[in-house]
Amino acid sequence: YKKGVLLAVDKSISSVLIVPQSIEKIFKIDDHIGIATSGLVADARRLIDEARIKAQRNRVAYNEPISVPALTRDICDIKQLYTQYGGARPFGTALLIAGVNDVPYLFETDPSGAFTQYSATSIGTGKNDVDKLFEKNYKAGMNRSDAIDLAIRGLSLISDKKPSEKFLEIVIIELSDKYKYVSKKEIEESIDRIGDELKRDREKSEQSY
């Protein structure tokens, strides 16, 4: 969006015995970069650790934050290496790498090591439906509030239940404030604000099947 970029995930749990706070899907890499993951969690953690090390080394060596495109290339180089060695398997995870330098960046990576820059995109379950929603409703220069609304509308398409602030996690990374979690209150206000749109989105999604 206009002043930054956001990552949003649904942390709905499959059992009441699971502690929601123990589920991590968005990881802070540096003050200006975050990564959202989909797929094999253990594989994602390995890449997250590599990303954090590279970001720290860049600060030590050059006394400046690593660029988002450079970090994306480095991580995708690692992913690509694991596609060409015998006895190794590709990383079973897709990543969304979001951050800001002079401008906001959002990259999607796949297990092959390929990466593409987007204005808005998704990974994981329901990607096609969510991306169609983004293509229709994303507007360049939209404000933070509208971006949060659109992200929640996207997440609502992958769940059978009405979205709840209890299970939604949203991180914003802005040119000024850098990495920050959106409060549960703000998420709840967004859900209330777009209630009618959420209902229409779900009806359209059900009609397409």
Which one, of 132, 176, 126, lies nearest residue 150 by Cα? 132
Instruction: Please classify residue 34 by burial: count the beta carbons closer than 10 Å to its beta carbon, then call 0-12 exposed, 13-18 middle and 19+ buried.
Output: buried
- Provide the domain limits for residue 53: 4-207
What is the Cα–Cα distance from 137 to 146, expressed in whole angstroms? 10
What is the Cα–Cα distance from 100 to 90, expressed in whole angstroms? 28
Number of domains the chain contains:
1
Q: What does the pLDDT read at residue 127?
A: 96
Tokens of 91: 């990383």
AA identity, residue 182: V
Phi, psi of 109, rounded to the nearest 5 degrees: -120, 150
Predicted confidence band of residue 208 (pLDDT cuts 50, 70, 90) = low
pLDDT digits (tens, 9 = 90+) for 130-155: 999 999 999 999 999 999 999 999 99
**SS (HEC) of 42-98:** HHHHHHHHHHHHHHHHHHHHHCCCCCHHHHHHHHHHHHHHCCCCCCCCCCCEEEEEE
Residue 161 near residue 17 (C-beta atoms within 8 A)? no
Q: Give the pTM.
A: 0.92
What is the Cα–Cα distance from 75 to 4, expressed in whole angstroms? 22
pLDDT digits (tens, 9 = 90+) for 48-63: 999 999 999 999 999 9
What is the Cα–Cα distance from 76 to 110, expressed in whole angstroms? 8
Which one, of 127, 191, 146, lies nearest residue 138 by Cα? 146
pLDDT digits (tens, 9 = 90+) for 81-98: 999 888 889 999 999 999
Q: Which of 10-24, 109-123, 149-163 has the highest mean pLDDT?
A: 109-123
CB neighbourhood size of 54 (10 A): 17
Q: What is the DSSP letter of 20?
A: G
Q: What does the pLDDT read at residue 16?
A: 80
pLDDT digits (tens, 9 = 90+) for 153-185: 999 998 877 889 999 999 999 999 899 999 999
Q: Which CATH number belongs to the domain containing residue 127 in this structure?
A: 3.60.20.10
